[in-house]
């Protein structure tokens, strides 16, 4: 059940609307279900509709007129609250709606329970699934009602009502969500042939610009060079940038002027001060210098940075964790402009959906995620090319990150963020399956001889015995055998690589243990292989750290550390 609360200054106009036909003749059988004293006139059940309506307005405004004579009447004296049940809910009786209305006006301070001076109010029902509460804000003692934070108090009471009546429990937010487009904006988008309102399209455009910019100045420069977007930059008298606002070409008001949106009106984290905080002092290495050719693969760097996020979320620093979730949201924002065309729809939906999960009441400590943001910026000059394995391995880690983010929000009761992360996970999983199909098939075509495959199978049974049969029966096993063979050719020890991968990342939450091992070994094997002296030192260190048989737990283990079972993502 949800509430919508507004204020006004025309009691008669509101009552006229509530008892009228509605904007689309949707009002059927409007009638009173409750009132401040239980005896208010009901135009919907009166033989003289107009007379009863005038009498009802006069009764509601009685204290208002008294307060006016004393000069104490509020300018916006009408309080209007609509309560709507969820489509899944059973029909509620008039008596149930009456009780719900009384609980809401009491919780919000309009008419506290047991207060004889509470405001005058009525609850009108003209549809099966909702009611409207109309009240005047002047109390019996002629003071203005104390109804601060009425939306939050009403929402809290509605959550209790849902439990008491066995109704659908609505996913509630923390007032950090971006503003939704109004009905007028949605209708305007439909008239102009767009699926999304101008506000939503501009929000995506600005977020993409933030995700690729390396400084506040570059962010504004990218915006001004974006097709179909108008940008107005505001300055302080000193010449420093104060803020910005954007508009879409062709999106005009009745007077023909552009409809402007400031960054803060698009989303709380898109104001210029917030963007400047995120983009200040980013350490982004140049990619055009000659030595850039010797740098590690940018997709591998970004994957390594993202792979550390679940560990960050498991720590006690909530501000740093929130910063890493927000930075990962920027990574999702940039993916659609880098990925192949066929993957863009799912990646765009993932970015749009996960956007809600990037904000909460916890203030992000932005400098904690600087390394991740810097790695993301390098990707802007590295579109997906070749076999696409870089994107596939990043999306494989993205599934892990979004799962961890959903769990982190769930522990803090961030219901809307949990729902957003879970929805984004569906889009990412679809995108991953499409992105991984080609690279995995290419690896399978290069699979080594049968004797080599059997040797690697033995290594799998030794290092990850509890996952061995699952890995060996997976269609991705052929690709994993290929990367193990190619790593060995490059001078790496396949068994040691497997041990390293298994220690750093549990396989319990993996959609495919074989694919997780494939991508991580593919990335690690591209590092320089250790020298013979280094390998000998590693062997001595491993032998000293191997436990005796009596020390090994009977639980599921991975050689080198325990691997407790958890939910699969």
Phi/psi at 339 (5° precision): -80, 160
- For residues 418 and 406, what is the distance between their CA atoms, to the nearest angstrom? 5
pLDDT surpasses 50 at 565: no
Band of pLDDT at residue 28, cut at 50, 70 and 90: confident
Is 292 a residue whose pLDDT tops 70?
no
Specify the pTM.
0.81
Instruction: Single out the residue of 4, 11, 74 nearest to residue 40, CA to CA.
Output: 11
Mean pLDDT of 411-425: 95
CA-to-CA dists, residue 429 to 326, 350, 398, angstroms: 20, 10, 9
**DSSP letters of 277-324?**
HHHTT-----SSSGGGGGSPPHHHHHHHHHHTHHHHHTSS-HHHHHHH
Q: What is the pLDDT of residues 488-503, one digit of tens each?
A: 999 999 999 999 988 8
Mean pLDDT computed over 270-289: 76
Residue 208 pLDDT more than 90? yes
Tell me the DSSP string of 79-102.
EEEEEE--TTSPPPPHHHHHHHHH
**Average pLDDT of the segment spanning 385-397:** 88
Q: Average of pLDDT values for 546-551?
A: 44
Say if CB 104 and CB 154 are below 8 A apart.
yes
Q: What is the pLDDT of residues 67-124, one digit of tens each?
A: 999 999 999 999 999 999 999 999 999 999 999 999 999 999 999 999 999 999 999 9
pLDDT for 5: 95
Rounded mean pLDDT, 8-25: 89
What pLDDT shows up at residue 541? 54
Mean pLDDT of 310-326: 93
Residue among 562, 457, 446, 434 nearest 502 (CA): 562
The mean of the pLDDT values for the chain is 89
Give me the pLDDT at residue 559, please. 45
Out of 326-340, 525-539, 542-556, least confident range? 542-556
Q: Say yes or no to pLDDT of 294 above 90.
A: no
Task: Judge contact between 494 and 484, C-beta under 8 A.
Answer: yes
Lowest-confidence pick of 37-46, 83-92, 165-174, 232-241: 165-174
**Whole-angstrom Cα distance, residue 275 to residue 269?**
7
Instruction: Let me know the angle formed at the C-alpha of 110 by 105 and 115, rounded to the nearest 5 degrees.
Output: 95
Q: State the Cα–Cα distance between residues 354 and 365, nearest whole angstrom.
A: 19
Q: Does residue 176 or residue 367 have the better pLDDT?
A: 176
Summarised one tens digit per residue, pLDDT across range 345-354 is: 999 999 999 9
Confidence of residue 522 (pLDDT cuts 50, 70, 90): very high
In the prediction, which pLDDT does 27 show? Answer: 83
Looking at residue 555, what is its pLDDT? 38
Query: Is the Cβ–Cβ distance between 208 and 329 less than 8 Å?
Result: no
Task: State yes or no: pLDDT of 532 exceeds 60.
Answer: no
User: What backbone torsions phi and psi does residue 449 show, to the nearest 5 degrees?
Assistant: -60, 165
In DSSP terms, which residues pair with 122 in a beta bridge? 35, 134
Per-residue pLDDT tens over the stretch 444-463:
999 999 999 999 999 999 99
């Amino acid at each position: 059940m949800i509430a919508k609360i507004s204020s006004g200054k025309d009691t008669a106009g509101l009552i006229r609307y509530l008892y009228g036909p509605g904007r689309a003749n949707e009002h059927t059988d409007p009638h009173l279900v409750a009132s401040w004293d239980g005896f208010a006139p009901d135009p919907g059940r009166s033989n003289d509709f107009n007379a009863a309506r005038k009498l009802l307005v006069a009764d509601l405004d009685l204290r208002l007129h008294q307060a006016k004579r004393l000069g104490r009447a509020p300018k916006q004296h009408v309080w209007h609250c609509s309560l709507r049940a969820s489509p899944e809910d059973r029909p509620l009786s008039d008596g149930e709606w009456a009780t719900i209305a009384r609980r809401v006006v009491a919780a919000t301070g309009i008419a506290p329970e047991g207060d004889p001076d509470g405001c005058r109010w009525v609850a009108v029902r003209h549809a099966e699934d909702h009611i409207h509460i109309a009240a005047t804000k002047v109390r019996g003692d002629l003071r203005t009602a104390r109804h601060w934070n009425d939306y939050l108090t009403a929402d809290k009471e509605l959550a209790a009502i849902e439990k008491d009546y066995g109704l659908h429990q609505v996913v509630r937010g923390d007032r950090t969500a971006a503003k939704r487009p109004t009905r007028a904006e949605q209708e305007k988008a439909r008239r102009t042939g767009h699926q999304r309102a101008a506000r939503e399209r501009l929000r995506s455009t600005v977020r993409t610009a933030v995700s690729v910019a390396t400084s506040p100045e570059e962010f504004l420069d990218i915006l001004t060079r974006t097709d179909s977007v108008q940008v107005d930059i505001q300055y302080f008298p000193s010449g420093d940038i104060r803020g910005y606002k954007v508009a879409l070409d062709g999106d005009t008001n009745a007077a023909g002027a552009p409809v402007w949106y400031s960054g803060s009106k698009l989303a709380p984290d898109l104001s210029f001060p917030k963007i400047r905080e995120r983009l200040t002092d980013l350490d982004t290495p140049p990619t055009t210098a000659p030595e850039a050719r010797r740098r590690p693969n940018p997709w591998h760097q970004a994957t390594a940075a993202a792979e550390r996020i679940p560990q960050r979320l498991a720590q006690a620093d909530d501000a740093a964790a929130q910063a890493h979730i927000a930075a990962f949201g920027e990574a999702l924002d940039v993916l659609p402009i880098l990925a192949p065309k066929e993957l863009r729809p799912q990646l765009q939906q993932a970015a749009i959906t996960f956007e809600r999960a990037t904000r909460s009441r916890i203030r992000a400590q932005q400098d904690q995620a600087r390394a991740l943001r810097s790695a993301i910026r390098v990707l802007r000059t590295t579109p997906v090319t070749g076999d696409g394995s870089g994107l596939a391995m990043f999306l494989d880690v993205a599934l892990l990150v979004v799962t961890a983010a959903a769990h982190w929000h769930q522990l803090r009761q961030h219901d809307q963020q949990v729902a957003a992360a879970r929805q984004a996970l569906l889009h990412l999983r679809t995108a991953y399956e499409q992105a991984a199909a080609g690279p995995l098939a290419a690896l399978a075509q290069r699979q080594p001889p049968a004797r080599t495959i059997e040797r690697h199978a033995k290594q799998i049974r030794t290092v990850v015995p509890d996952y061995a049969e699952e890995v060996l029966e997976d269609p991705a096993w052929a690709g994993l055998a290929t990367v193990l063979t190619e790593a060995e050719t490059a001078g790496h020890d396949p068994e040691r690589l497997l041990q390293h991968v298994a220690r750093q990342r549990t396989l319990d939450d993996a959609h495919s243990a074989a694919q997780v091992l494939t991508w991580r070994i593919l990335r690690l094997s591209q590092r320089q292989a250790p020298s013979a002296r280094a390998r000998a030192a590693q062997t001595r260190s491993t032998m000293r750290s191997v436990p005796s048989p009596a020390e090994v737990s009977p639980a599921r283990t991975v050689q080198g550390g325990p691997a407790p079972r958890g939910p699969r993502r």
